């Protein structure tokens, strides 16, 4: 009885493994312009998803003949705009470059604030002097000493 049960199980196993296509071959069918649903139907659920600069980035990690592949699909407004290897940030978009740029901008802002504070301090001092009348030259009579 067990022998008769094992034959269909082995046949089903052989048929399903024979029908599998490589993920690399499937990924080669993904083209720019495809909708998210079409990519999901073809490739399945991505290994990682990320939203970066208004784009959805889906990363697929799979093995083909013991070689590890990481491929990426980027979507904008629901359709694929990039299909291929993981894209690296541009040279001017690295964290160090962005920090340097931000430090320069922050220093400029701090200097502008310091200039504005000094300008407002001087304006207030002038206003105070004006309201007290210290900005005008007053007539001071000259007296001769009494003998």
Per-residue pLDDT tens over the stretch 91-140 = 556 778 888 888 999 999 999 999 999 999 999 999 988 888 777 777 77
User: What's the pLDDT at 123?
Assistant: 93
38: its two tokens: 């079409």
Residue 130: half-sphere exposure toward Cβ, Cα within 13 Å = 6
Residue 138 forms part of a structural domain: no
57: its two tokens: 């980035």
Q: Quick one: which of 110, 30, 134 has its CA closest to 72?
A: 30
Greater confidence, 114 or 62?
Answer: 114
User: What's the pLDDT at 7?
Assistant: 64
146: its two tokens: 């009494």
Please give the residue range of the domain that contains residue 98: 89-132
Greater confidence, 79 or 17?
Answer: 79
User: What's the pLDDT at 18?
Assistant: 46
Q: How many CB atoms lie within 10 A of CB 144?
A: 5
135: its two tokens: 């900005």
User: What's the pLDDT at 73?
Assistant: 92
Strands (E), the chain: 48-52, 55-64, 67-76, 79-85
Please state whether 131 falls in left (phi above 0), alpha (psi between -120 and 50) or beta: alpha
| Mean of pLDDT values over 27-45 | 90
Residue 139 forms part of a structural domain: no
Q: How many domains does the chain have?
A: 2
Residue 119 forms part of a structural domain: yes
User: What's the pLDDT at 129?
Assistant: 85
55 and 79 belong to one structural domain:
yes
33 and 81 belong to one structural domain:
yes
Phi/psi at 44 (5° precision)? 90, -170
Residue 57 forms part of a structural domain: yes
Q: Examine the pLDDT at 48 and tell me if it is beyond 70.
A: yes
């Amino acid at each position: 009885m067990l022998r008769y049960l094992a034959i269909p199980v082995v046949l089903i196993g052989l048929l399903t493994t024979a029908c599998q296509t490589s993920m690399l071959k499937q990924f080669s069918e993904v083209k720019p312009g495809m909708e998210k649903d079409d990519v999901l139907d073809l490739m399945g659920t991505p290994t990682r998803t990320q939203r970066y600069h208004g784009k959805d980035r889906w990363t697929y990690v799979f093995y083909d003949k013991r070689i590890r592949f990481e491929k990426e699909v980027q979507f904008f407004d629901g359709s694929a705009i990039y299909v291929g290897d993981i894209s690296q940030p541009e040279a001017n978009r690295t964290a160090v470059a962005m920090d340097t740029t931000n430090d320069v901008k922050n220093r400029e802002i701090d200097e502008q604030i310091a200039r504005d504070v000094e300008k407002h301090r001087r304006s207030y001092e002038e206003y105070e002097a004006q309201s007290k009348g210290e900005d005008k030259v007053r007539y001071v009579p000259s007296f001769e000493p009494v003998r």
